[in-house]
Chain A
Amino acid sequence: MPTLTVTETEDQLIITVEDARIDAAIATRFKDRLREIVLRVRKPVRMDMRHVDFMDSSGLGAMIAVRKALPESLPLVLDGLTPNVERVFRLTRMDSVFQIGSASAP
């Protein structure tokens, strides 16, 4: 199962992804779990991605599905993208769809 740490504050939801890899082995469960969380809470979402050091296109597909599950009025900000994860968003131009926050500290 994907490991997510969820912190709800008054005005936002902070989700820390504890998994090192968002790949085909986990993508479907990752998507289902995240969708369930963001749909239940209905607040702006910040995702802390700094522990994720690998993501493939099925992981990207899961992230896009979560973005689509949120109403357009609610932002989804991605913090702490590592170089391998940032590369996938950049090459697929999906960095224009998500709000990319601060990068991961080296």
Chain B
Amino acid sequence: MSSIERQNAGLQSRPVTRSQPMFHRVLRADPHEVRKTLVDMRNRFASAVDADAMGRLELVLAEVMNNVAEHAATQGVGSGCMHLCIVMQDNGLSCAITDDGSRLPADCLKPRSLPALDPLDLPEGGFGWFLIQGLTQSLCYYREGPRNCLAFTVPYTPVS
């Protein structure tokens, strides 16, 4: 195809490019940096996304990024940084988190149930991946050389 043909392709039906909030951040894998990033992320999307979706998005991202900070970005492996990117699509908020820490254990992506609720010895952890799986759609993982890539969508209702 010549450059002229490409320029003219679908000229009539091409949708107008919209300007929508996006979010991209490279951050140190540290709970304080995660907190700061989440606060900035909330400010970026608050006017465009309903409060319920905003809460679900913030919770999922907190769980994923704190897992990276705690497990993947262990000392001596990788740079100790992670990348976050969020794009508003019509069908949801598409999120990608990548890091160059240790590989995500396959168990995390298998269907999760809640940890056993023993009233005499309540579980204090093990909720993170249950929440991530329950609040996201199209959750997928890819190991690209030294990098973990995790992507998913969080459904939302646009604020008009």
Contacts and interface: CB of A to CB of B under 8 A. Distances in A.
Contacts of B125: 57-58, 61
B157 to A, nearest CB: 15
A64 B35 contact: no
Contacts of A87: 55-56, 59
A103 interface: no
B123 interface: yes
A56 B62 contact: yes
Interface string A70-102: 000000000000011001100111001100000
Interface string B79-113: 00000000000000000000000000000000000
For the residues of A in contact with B, the DSSP-based class is: helix
Contacts of A93: 114, 117
Contacts of A96: 117
Interface stretch (B15-23, B63-71, B137-145, B148-156): B63-71
Given A56-B59, A64-B123, 19 more contacts: A23-B34, A23-B35, A24-B62, A57-B125, A57-B131, A58-B125, A68-B122, A83-B52, A84-B58, A87-B56, A88-B131, A91-B130, A92-B127, A92-B130, A92-B131, A93-B117, A97-B117, A97-B119, A97-B122
Interface of A: 21, 23-25, 54, 56-58, 60-62, 64-65, 67-68, 83-84, 87-88, 91-93, 96-97
Interface of B: 31-32, 34-35, 38, 51-52, 55-56, 58-59, 62-63, 66, 69-70, 114, 117, 119, 121-125, 127-128, 130-131, 134-135
Listed from nearest, the 5 A-B pairs whose CB atoms lie closest are A25-B31, A24-B31, A57-B127, A61-B124, A56-B62
19 contacts: A23-B62, A23-B66, A24-B34, A56-B59, A56-B62, A56-B63, A61-B124, A61-B125, A64-B122, A67-B122, A68-B121, A68-B124, A84-B59, A91-B131, A91-B135, A92-B130, A92-B131, A93-B117, A97-B119
